[in-house]
């Protein structure tokens, strides 16, 4: 029964036109996909760069604050040397 069923096909010229149209759509799809992938990659790279920059900036600020506190500590100790009791020295 299935063998007797006929499927109508368009003429060969029309089939070739259909193939050309489908190939055009396939190529357009591939181009769009490549463009989208490039855009997404650029956006991701920009986001990662911004996150890294923010993280490094925070680390740098923390390091600078620690150095500033260290500087102030030693500066205060050096400037207050008169307040430090002195030992009478023996002979060298």
Q: Is 92 helix (H, G, I), strand (E, B) or coil?
A: coil
72-78: long-range contacts, CB 8 A cutoff, minimum separation 24: none
Q: What is the CA radius of gyration of the chain?
A: 39
Instruction: Give me the residue spans of the domains in the chain.
Output: 14-80
Tokens of 85: 């009791």
Determine the number of helices (DSSP H) and then strands (DSSP E) in the chain.
1, 0
Distance CA 47, CA 53 (A): 10
- pLDDT value at residue 39: 98
- pLDDT value at residue 83: 61
The per-residue pLDDT string of the chain (92 residues; one tens digit each, 9 = 90 and over) reads 667 888 899 999 999 999 999 999 999 999 999 999 999 999 999 999 999 999 999 999 999 999 999 999 999 888 886 665 556 666 65
pTM above 0.85, yes or no: no
15 touches 9 (CB < 8 A): yes
């Amino acid at each position: 029964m299935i063998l007797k069923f006929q499927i109508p096909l368009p003429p060969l010229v029309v089939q070739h036109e259909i193939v050309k149209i489908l190939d055009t759509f396939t190529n357009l799809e591939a181009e769009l996909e490549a463009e989208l992938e490039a855009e997404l990659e650029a956006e991701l790279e920009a986001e990662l760069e911004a996150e890294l920059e923010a993280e490094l900036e925070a680390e740098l600020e923390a390091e600078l604050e620690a150095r500033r506190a260290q500087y102030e500590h030693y500066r205060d100790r050096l400037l207050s040397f008169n307040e430090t009791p002195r030992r009478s020295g023996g002979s060298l």
